[in-house]
Amino acid sequence: MQLPSRRIGPSKSWGYVERGAQGFIQFANSEIDEKAPIFIYDRLGEPNKDMLEENLAHIEKGEMAVSFASGMGAISTILGVLTKTGDEIIAHHTLYGCTFSLMTNWYPRYNIKVNQVDLTDINNIYKVLNENT
C-alpha cells in the first residue's frame, strides 16, 4: 500500500521576516534614521539580545552590557581582552573542562601563565600574586 504524499516546503520561522527585494531598498536610502536598528542577520544584532543588554546596562547603571550565547564565549572574550603576553592569571585549581583546556593548552602558547591554586583559602592568592597578575 502506498501512502499519499506531497512536497513540503520549508516552513517560515519566527526568526525572520521575508521582505523580498523591496525590503532591502532601505539599506540604500540615505534618509534612514541612524538610530533605528536594522536587523538583517542575527550575528550582527538581534532585538531580544539588544533589549537584554540595554536592560542589564540600565539595571547595573552601566554604559553598556554584553551578553554571550555560552559561558566559554564569555570567559574566552573577557580573558582575551584583559590579558596580554607576559601576564599571569590566578585561577581555582578545579575548573570546568573547557576552561581548564583554554588555560592549560592555549594561554601558554601566548606566554600567559596560569597559576592554579585552591581559592577557598585566601592566603593562596597572596602566594602567587605579583606585578604580572
| pTM over the 0.75 mark | no
Stretch 41-70: mean pLDDT: 89
Tell me, what's the pLDDT at 123? 96
pLDDT exceeds cutoff 60 at 16: no
d(CA 13, CA 11) in angstroms, rounded, equals 6
For the chain, percent of residues with pLDDT exceeding 70? 71
Tell me, what's the pLDDT at 47? 85
Dihedral over Cα of 36, 23, 53, 30: its sign = negative
Tell me, what's the pLDDT at 124? 96
Tell me, what's the pLDDT at 31? 62
CA distances from 118 to 88, 89, 105, 115, 124 (A): 16, 13, 20, 10, 7
Q: Which of 125, 59, 60 is nearest to 89 (CA)?
A: 125
pLDDT exceeds cutoff 90 at 107: yes
Stretch 18-27: mean pLDDT: 62
